[in-house]
Structure 1
């Protein structure tokens, strides 16, 4: 007997329903589903575009499913009792590639279910491409087997948009903690294969500000800030010639979203050096006495400090002392993606596909919501993410019981984050006590370039009531990053020294402290990772399933290509430069997995599971920062005062014994 595992769920009907899929879970449309009864009557239907079928089946019958390019499945005698008009049975069938004249006989198991739940067409809301709506629809979504709390979710989901077609290749895992899962594999979002019949669809989704509410900080006498959301695209697939199929898709996303922020800016009179309107005295740092009339003489005002102070806009909220300025900026997102896939049947038991995907996602953020230092506009960031993915996949049927799959995946990701062009140009970070800060984030510009190479092999061994899968994965991850941290400097102005007022100190050009980092911050890290796993799924009874597995993961310690890293070694008590390895290897990462599912009655299902998982260490967690230590970079911190100024904006980073070089990124 051939080792297919078919389960018929008895719900409540003399109608048989189900889905026809290939061994990867992809729906097979236009499959011929035939039932023959004991009295020689036959009924025949075709599966629809989702692989679903529905056919009457009373009494004793035999089920046969046939499709060109796949082995025919024929069941032994099965019995459906003559019940009420609302009784429904459900049978899902998977076909193996091969000659339709090769017939495999299987036994059907019946399982009674309290209520029939026939699959319905997805609603328009569910069928639309998910874009940024995907993870808002359902809780507990995991990508490529990565746990919700894992730090690797960004790797799997970043830049991903899941369309209704691409989601058709996603198989829902109902067994908890499979040993096959647990790593950020780059092949799981493969495009669907083309079908024998040409098909396609187009979609467009639009939102605007018509029904939007105002932001809490929006002025009451102004209209609702504009908002526009356009999501569009399409896909198509079909046959090129006998045994060769294609599929292609494109989607685009355009968002124009207004963002309101509240900031605190100074009275314009203060920017001229006139502090006569405030009760506190403005002290002359050179004499220790207040300036006459609380006015800073024009010849004492620093030109550099004045240029920075004039970057403050005029207040636009009358009567407010704090948060007296409302800034409205436009967050602009433009994203596009396209991909194509070709499938070809090499032989009756051998098929392959090749696939390429590209996506880009560029966001212009006027406030740098991720790492900005101020609520004032004009200090934004451009985040430009792009990804290329190439995949080559081969499936070979060794025998009716054994299936071998081999996959090669290559990925390339770039993400530069640069200063958004504005009239101010690139500015240092100016930290102000009592006022909103001025300037750009201290971590710009920055860039990362990730490449990934993966080879996967697995063998599936089918049994009459169980299946076993053995697999291995080898990956190579080169990672390059650069981070101009504090390259333009950071200056802090407080009111605890010198004039006694932070804005007056800015006009005088006298920071409380200053810091900057100089040197080459580009680093290139490398690591290899491998995984081995075995997973056994056993169904001893129709209402009981058991899953057992074991996974082994090993990742070589990251190393920097040019050994441009250093850290403080506690043992000798000195700085260690260019170590061959950043940390010790961890070779005992064995992860057992176990799960059980039991259906006591009706639609009640009890599930339980246990598993040990090991995360892949990411460079950005802390390892990259080891490259920002001396002697490869110079980090200068200078404190001014405390009584007389030791430096100003122009002389802060001239050679001085006040500069120190701490190893602030030690781990």
Structure 2
């Protein structure tokens, strides 16, 4: 459907209007009503909001109904002053959080002797004007709570409805942190830094993550947020950096970890020492005035240096096997060369003159065994090295009392060497990766106060993320040294061909590398608020231009596979130079993706009555389909039944037309139920569109003629040998896999709704019970539209036999989430702060993401029946509870005990205890057949587990007493009859649960009045509980049903910080 001309015209007019917004989501609002003690409104009261750290002031007067409002306020401490003749002056001291609407109602006393009345507002006020679910993580929690790696994002898990992403998910590799919220996907979270775009659009992950000491606070909104938020349909994470003030403040610190203080991992082999580990994190933060009350600066730097021994156990050939002597090895059958009479070698020894010289050299690349364990005769622990650097610079300048400028630049750089790249790749040293990542984020904003009721902010932002992965033998001419013919035409792809010898560790670098991606995002926003009477109006527009340039040389070096097809021993086949099959790719597919986003909205927060606020708004989002700037791409056309260039005939440049129907209404209320204003009922409903990551759009680049993957199989008359592993012409026809995009592809969206009751329990304690739900529609998912029906036929032809897989990207996914959520907050009451959350929920979908995760292929077993995939989400957590706390021990100056000083007070005084306790039930996983099995006889899928066939379920998978050796009832799963799919559902078995305690003790030592030293000792996984990963889920695997890995054991960290 096309946009009506009138609607299109209105967007053009909005773009020209000078007061447009994307919302002041990095700032806050203070509003209230001033009355006398009889609750009668007092108009004409002069109200000032003073930011205490910079003395910047806004002034307004109350309306005829006694209302006042301040918008576009930076978070921080405020002093709100109220004055009118014949009344005492009232001063309210309050803390304003990011994106908070802080209600400060006040009854004024008739003038008397007192003259000035000072009031301290509760640190944990009820949300009397907002219907959104979520929380603000304050600076004290960010800098105080124990965080392994000092990644403040992990504190998002303290919010109800949030849980870590599924094991092995696309966003959680290489130590990155990713999470799911309220049934939405991990790539559905929108990340903002000071209110501007902070995303790597390739996978929708964070672009720049500031250090802990640079963050003032961050807000995570999980459900029911107003129309000012957009881009993604999951959580909105808004991080606010610190600003300079009229006083100089700063920190300098170092944190240190060493393996000598750590517990032993459950799965480290008994005959091996613990791998070495060292980590140093160090840095500083400094802020202050350049010109008092006018110009302020803030800057920070953090470095991280990490060295970790990574242990891998694998199988390598013995010296005898490398020499061709299999007398002590499994070689049960004679060599079976097509068309020849089998002739067994005497004593299972292959004479040297029969051996292929290239095969002999390849076998010599293996190290010799170093332990006497059959099938696991080699262990190594090479060092993984991780270097990270980050800095920020921020300037704030008040041109006048009504005009201000802000500028910020953030930079993050990482160099990671991985000695091992994955379970399917070499498990011996020499074939690692070097991962290079650099993120940059810059922002300039100008704020203008036109009147107390109209404020405008314009922002320009730039975001750049560069990612590269280079293989360890990159540039090497090792193939030439081996005498192995190569298909590499691009020098950057030089290196060892990937060689798989079944039963042994593979050789060669990861065949997906090298790869390089650079994304640039340009953002223009104009922000304004307009207040009139009891209405707070927000409306606006945002434009983003995304560019992604790069390459991925997938299979450019080719692969060689030895499975024992000739001798029934894969290594013997290698020594004879007999290849089971080979593959290689012609790669000429440089990426130049381009897409733009246009967003506009209007929102009204209407205080209908003193105890009732209605929030209503509508948002419109249009994301242009991602296209190649040079049109050097092609897609499979489902109508023409062939691969065609984009932009020709009826094929759009992106493979589909843009979705222009993305209108998202939202409505909510906050109703204070009692006259004492201690109970608030909140509810909301809304539609939230979800912009997909760019990575799936790379499907455009993996079709002929720009990318062609060729397979070579031996026939009865022709062999594939090491002398010519990639023949240019071959008699066997191997159909090619191609990709397509649904022609009427649509933007995914979520519906959110919630109903909650919030109750004030004393001055600084709040309890909330909430029903929170979401429903996802038109979610991105893939399937093979060229899959044949299951059959026992020797040749089960596909619908289009000239092709192999035809993987199509579709907007067909659905999800549903329902939950009960409880939360408790206590802020600094009796030296104790507590933040608790509990969620009882269930998430169901038919695909939990586009990419695979451990235990879930996210690809249908039967692509002709994708509805059969409906089951629990791979991130479904039925029960999750988290509790964080900080407690200042009652010893030392100003405390209950040891308050008079002395040696005991110096030793035992000024200690704080902080911790995070987490309990979580297990996630589900899918039991599948071995990846090499095509039991249904429908071919191998292009994505997922390679083969996605599942077994038959013939009993209960649950065990009353599961153990690491048998986590579930493996006897309940059997291989189905050939030519049929199994009846076992998706994600029907629960994995291990999770329980963890992170604990820290810190001591503050006063050096001078403004200088103190802080010592910290932290333990992660304090009680050293073994938190197992998912078990082996493949029927037919030797370790089927066993737990084979675990998360980190107890780690100890020390820190020293200087604060002034």
TM range (shorter): 0.7 to 0.9
Q: Distance between the aligned counterparts of 2:250 and 2:658, measured in 1? A: 50
**How far does residue 469 in structure 1 lie from its aligned partner after superposition?**
0.8
Q: Which residue of 1 aligns with 2:20?
A: none
Q: Which residue of 2 aligns with 1:51?
A: 77
Task: Rate the CA distance shift 1:175–1:28 in 2: closer, same or farther, 3 A.
Answer: farther
Task: Rate the CA distance shift 1:192–1:292 in 2: closer, same or farther, 3 A.
Answer: same
Q: Distance between the aligned counterparts of 1:240 and 1:492, measured in 2? A: 66
**How far does residue 52 in structure 1 lie from its aligned partner after superposition?**
6.6
Task: Rate the CA distance shift 1:332–1:609 in 2: closer, same or farther, 3 A.
Answer: farther
SS across alignment from 1:345: strand
**How far does residue 287 in structure 1 lie from its aligned partner after superposition?**
4.2
The one of 271, 275, 279 equivalent to 1:225 is 275
Q: Which residue of 1 aligns with 2:575?
A: 507
Task: Rate the CA distance shift 1:528–1:494 in 2: closer, same or farther, 3 A.
Answer: same
Whether contact under 8 Å (2:80, 2:92) holds in the other structure is: no
1:639 counterpart = 2:666: no
SS across alignment from 1:388: strand
The one of 608, 618, 629 equivalent to 1:550 is 618
**How far does residue 528 in structure 1 lie from its aligned partner after superposition?**
0.9
Q: Which residue of 2 aligns with 1:536?
A: 604
Q: Distance between the aligned counterparts of 1:130 and 1:531, measured in 2? A: 36
Task: Report matched runs for 1:18-37 at 5 Å.
Answer: 28=53
Task: Rate the CA distance shift 1:451–1:333 in 2: closer, same or farther, 3 A.
Answer: same
The one of 461, 470, 473 equivalent to 2:539 is 470
The one of 726, 736, 749 equivalent to 1:653 is 726
Q: Distance between the aligned counterparts of 2:179 and 2:573, measured in 1? A: 54
Q: Which residue of 1 aligns with 2:450?
A: 398
Task: Rate the CA distance shift 1:386–1:231 in 2: closer, same or farther, 3 A.
Answer: same
**How far does residue 226 in structure 1 lie from its aligned partner after superposition?**
1.4
The one of 243, 261, 271 equivalent to 1:193 is 243
Whether contact under 8 Å (2:327, 2:349) holds in the other structure is: yes
Task: Rate the CA distance shift 1:51–1:127 in 2: closer, same or farther, 3 A.
Answer: farther
Task: Report matched runs for 1:149-188 at 5 Å.
Answer: 149-153=185-189, 155=200, 157-168=205-216, 170-171=218-219, 173=221, 176-183=224-231
**How far does residue 376 in structure 1 lie from its aligned partner after superposition?**
2.5
Q: Distance between the aligned counterparts of 1:632 and 1:364, measured in 2? A: 31
1:573 counterpart = 2:611: no
The one of 686, 695, 713 equivalent to 1:611 is 686
Q: Distance between the aligned counterparts of 2:431 and 2:415, measured in 1? A: 17
**How far does residue 660 in structure 1 lie from its aligned partner after superposition?**
4.2
The one of 191, 202, 205 equivalent to 2:252 is 202
Q: Which residue of 2 aligns with 1:250?
A: 301
The one of 508, 514, 518 equivalent to 1:449 is 518
1:430 counterpart = 2:482: no
Range with bigger deviation, 219-228 or 181-190: 181-190
1:135 counterpart = 2:185: no
* Residues 603-637 of structure 1: CA deviation (Å, up to 9, x unaligned): 6655433222222233211x212212111233211
Whether contact under 8 Å (1:177, 1:594) holds in the other structure is: no
* TM-score calculated relative to the size of structure 2: 0.51
* TM-score calculated relative to the size of structure 1: 0.79
Task: Rate the CA distance shift 1:144–1:150 in 2: closer, same or farther, 3 A.
Answer: closer
SS across alignment from 1:224: coil
1:526 counterpart = 2:598: no
How many residues end up aligned between the 2 structures? 594
SS across alignment from 2:187: coil
Q: Which residue of 2 aligns with 1:322?
A: 375
Task: Rate the CA distance shift 1:394–1:170 in 2: closer, same or farther, 3 A.
Answer: farther
Q: Distance between the aligned counterparts of 2:357 and 2:402, measured in 1? A: 79
Task: Rate the CA distance shift 1:545–1:301 in 2: closer, same or farther, 3 A.
Answer: farther
Q: Distance between the aligned counterparts of 1:523 and 1:490, measured in 2? A: 24
**How far does residue 170 in structure 1 lie from its aligned partner after superposition?**
3.4
Range with bigger deviation, 443-452 or 554-563: 554-563
The one of 452, 459, 475 equivalent to 1:407 is 459
Task: Rate the CA distance shift 1:315–1:508 in 2: closer, same or farther, 3 A.
Answer: same
Task: Rate the CA distance shift 1:379–1:424 in 2: closer, same or farther, 3 A.
Answer: farther
RMSD: 4.0
Q: Distance between the aligned counterparts of 2:311 and 2:363, measured in 1? A: 22
Q: Distance between the aligned counterparts of 1:244 and 1:321, measured in 2? A: 70
Whether contact under 8 Å (1:217, 1:326) holds in the other structure is: no
1:364 counterpart = 2:417: yes
Task: Rate the CA distance shift 1:221–1:519 in 2: closer, same or farther, 3 A.
Answer: closer
Q: Which residue of 2 aligns with 1:84?
A: none
* Residues 205-256 of structure 1: CA deviation (Å, up to 9, x unaligned): 2222234232344232443221112222111111212522211111111222
Q: Which residue of 2 aligns with 1:590?
A: 663
Whether contact under 8 Å (1:215, 1:260) holds in the other structure is: no
Whether contact under 8 Å (1:128, 1:164) holds in the other structure is: no
SS across alignment from 2:154: helix
**How far does residue 391 in structure 1 lie from its aligned partner after superposition?**
1.1
Whether contact under 8 Å (1:450, 1:478) holds in the other structure is: yes
Q: Distance between the aligned counterparts of 1:506 and 1:21, measured in 2? A: 82
Task: Report matched runs for 1:94-105 at 5 Å.
Answer: none
Whether contact under 8 Å (1:130, 1:163) holds in the other structure is: no
Q: Distance between the aligned counterparts of 1:250 and 1:547, measured in 2? A: 41
Whether contact under 8 Å (1:29, 1:51) holds in the other structure is: no
Range with bigger deviation, 216-225 or 123-132: 123-132
SS across alignment from 2:447: strand
Q: Distance between the aligned counterparts of 1:174 and 1:661, measured in 2? A: 46
Unaligned runs of 5+ in 2: 1-28, 35-46, 59-74, 82-86, 95-103, 111-117, 130-137, 164-177, 190-198, 479-494, 741-807, 809-1060
Q: Which residue of 1 aligns with 2:992?
A: none
**How far does residue 76 in structure 1 lie from its aligned partner after superposition?**
7.2
1:63 counterpart = 2:117: no
Q: Distance between the aligned counterparts of 1:618 and 1:210, measured in 2? A: 41
Whether contact under 8 Å (1:145, 1:181) holds in the other structure is: no
SS across alignment from 1:281: coil
